[in-house]
Amino acid sequence: MLPKFPAPTGGMPSIDQLLAGAGATSNAGDELGNRVIERFQSSAYQPPLLADVAARLVELSRRPFKPTEAHQLLERDPFFAGRVLQVAQSPVHNGGAPVSSLAEAVTRLGHDTLGPMFLVASTKMRVFRTRAYLRTMEQVQAHSLATAHLAKLASRHVSSVDPQVAFTAGLLHDVGLTAALMIHGDPEGAAQGAAASAVSAPPPTVDVKELWPAIRAMHARTTQWLCSRWKLPAVLANAVVNHHDIRPANNPDPLAALVALADGLATDLGFPAFDEVEPGQVPAALASLGIGPAQRESLLADATGIQAHVICR
């Protein structure tokens, strides 16, 4: 389990503060956020994959595969899943309607599109190997998958939210964290992207505990930028970006509240991603969604079953 890192003084900045670069913590976050965005703007940059995802990708790229197999691969790498959703937003594939879930994207694209994508990715891929961040990266991925399954599970109690959309929002909710870890743990990628951007050298390896305040300050902003780059539908992007700010006065979106709830439950079940869950986040989400004590107990009882989905992925 990841250590519980102390939050920066003053708690999580608001989205407006993040975008405006307010405060010392936000300034550090801005610097890191700018570096992340600069790297991912480079058309030459190929994000690295975790070893288990890379092995599965190579396997699927060499043979016909079922939609369920493609989905299982993509749910193990939220960043790769976001890129697939980006392709699915193309008018060639979406028929003029936004694609709001990973399941729908896999169905729309099919083997004819996903197969070549997997093949190209398998020929260009690098494996994330930096020891300083590898375990952290693996646990952020596990947290994202746990959040996805819990959001889908909790959607049973919210009739207005599609379970597959809830799953996708949960899976993508921390892509900003993943992106930050990638650039700090991917020295090969710095050289790869140097020809197309100002990035010419990898950032120095910094202890994750020291890096965390800057990541905490920037991850919502970077997640917002990635959602925009992937052209995700507003309903999905808004939930992913705003799941930390579900105060009743803000009339939070049900999908954002579901992600906030799942985010907190994932941490409680032993799948944390740093100390990013805000105090009172779970109770606020339950209240916003109108989930009462009986439903909450039912949800918590069912939630223990997601551990097998994450551990045995």
Q: List average pLDDT for each run of 10 residues in the chain, which is 313 residues long.
A: 32 36 57 84 84 94 95 94 94 86 95 94 88 87 94 91 96 91 75 50 67 82 90 92 75 89 90 78 89 88 81 60
Residue 309 is predicted with a pLDDT of: 75
Residue 189 is predicted with a pLDDT of: 63
Whether 309 contacts 156, CB under 8 Å: no
Whether 226 contacts 39, CB under 8 Å: no
For residue 184, the number of C-alpha atoms closer than 13 Å in the C-beta half-sphere is: 25
Instruction: Tell me phi and psi for residue 270, to 5 degrees.
Output: 100, 20
Residue 197 is predicted with a pLDDT of: 47
137, part of any domain: yes
146, part of any domain: yes
Describe the crossing of helices 208-229 and 23-41 by its angle, rounded to 10 degrees: 60
199, part of any domain: yes
Total count of domains within the chain: 1
197, part of any domain: yes
219, part of any domain: yes
The total number of residues shown for the chain amounts to 313
139, part of any domain: yes
Residue 254 is predicted with a pLDDT of: 93
70, part of any domain: no
The pTM (predicted TM-score) of the whole model is: 0.84
Residue 11 is predicted with a pLDDT of: 36
Residue 13 is predicted with a pLDDT of: 35
245, part of any domain: yes
Its sign, for the CA torsion 149, 40, 193, 118, is positive
Task: Give the domain extent around 254.
Answer: 15-48+127-311
Residue 159 is predicted with a pLDDT of: 87
Residue 14 is predicted with a pLDDT of: 36
Whether 184 contacts 23, CB under 8 Å: no
CATH of the domain at 274: 1.10.3210
Number of neighbouring beta carbons within 10 Å of residue 163 = 17
